[in-house]
């Protein structure tokens, strides 16, 4: 499932883009870490968001996938799933990130992250991201918790209480 273009997306002075759903043009701006690392979201289902990260350009000095690159993949997928959950006009704030590295990813190609929700409440969501190599071996497991700030919908007759 591919998202539609973000119609009416606003660009704030700090460069942040909001108003999901995001499109690939939004996610591939040259100033974003996702672009620098080559992260590509392949499946936009908020119950199972899938993305990949190329090994080329993401290695540490021993030649294995850098742990920080794995963490960036986990952060990206979990945050995007939370953005989809928060909805149009909502905001997501990262609260906690942890990544356990099980084995080294080597060679060429890419790793794939599969993000699934562990808990989704009204103001907080926690996701697990399983990162697999091309031989489908789990190389890392990440967990991310985000605060959800959903946009409140006020009717025309609503008044602020003060």
Question: How confident is residue 150, by pLDDT bands cut at 50, 70 and 90?
Answer: confident
- Using CA atoms, how far apart are residues 147 and 84, in angstroms rounded to an integer? 13
- Using CA atoms, how far apart are residues 105 and 109, in angstroms rounded to an integer? 10
pLDDT at 153: 52
Q: In this model, does residue 3 exceed pLDDT 50?
A: no
Mean per-residue pLDDT of the chain: 83
Q: Catalytic amino acids?
A: 75
- Residue keyed to tokens 């946009």: 151
Q: In this model, does residue 130 exceed pLDDT 60?
A: yes
pLDDT in tens, 92-103: 999 999 999 999
pLDDT at 152: 61
Q: In this model, does residue 133 exceed pLDDT 50?
A: yes
User: How many of the other CB atoms lie within 10 Å of CB of 1?
Assistant: 6
pLDDT at 15: 45
Average pLDDT, stretch 85-114?
94
- Residue keyed to tokens 């497991």: 141
Q: What's the pTM value of the predicted model, to 2 decimals? A: 0.81
Domains and CATH numbers, the chain: 38-149 (3.10.129.10)
- Using CA atoms, how far apart are residues 79 and 18, in angstroms rounded to an integer? 13
pLDDT in tens, 31-87: 889 999 999 999 988 899 999 999 999 999 999 999 999 999 999 999 999 999 988
Minimum mean pLDDT range among 7-16, 79-88, 145-154: 7-16
pLDDT at 81: 94
CA distances from 42 to 91, 142, 161 (A): 22, 18, 44
């Amino acid at each position: 499932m591919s998202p539609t273009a973000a119609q009416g997306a606003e660009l704030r002075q700090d460069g942040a883009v909001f108003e999901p759903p995001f499109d690939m043009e939004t996610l591939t701006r040259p100033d974003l870490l996702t672009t620098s690392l080559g992260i590509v979201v392949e499946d936009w289902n908020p119950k199972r968001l899938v993305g990949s990260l190329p090994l080329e350009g993401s290695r540490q000095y021993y030649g294995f996938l850098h742990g920080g690159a794995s963490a960036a993949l986990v952060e990206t997928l979990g945050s995007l799933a939370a953005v989809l959950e928060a909805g149009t006009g909502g905001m997501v704030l990262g609260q906690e990130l942890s990544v356990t590295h099980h084995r080294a990813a080597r060679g060429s190609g890419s790793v794939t992250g599969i993000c699934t929700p562990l808990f989704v409440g009204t103001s907080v969501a926690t996701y697990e991201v399983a990162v697999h190599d091309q031989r489908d071996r789990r190389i890392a497991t990440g967990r991310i918790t985000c605060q959800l700030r959903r946009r409140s919908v006020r009717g025309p007759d609503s008044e602020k209480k003060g």
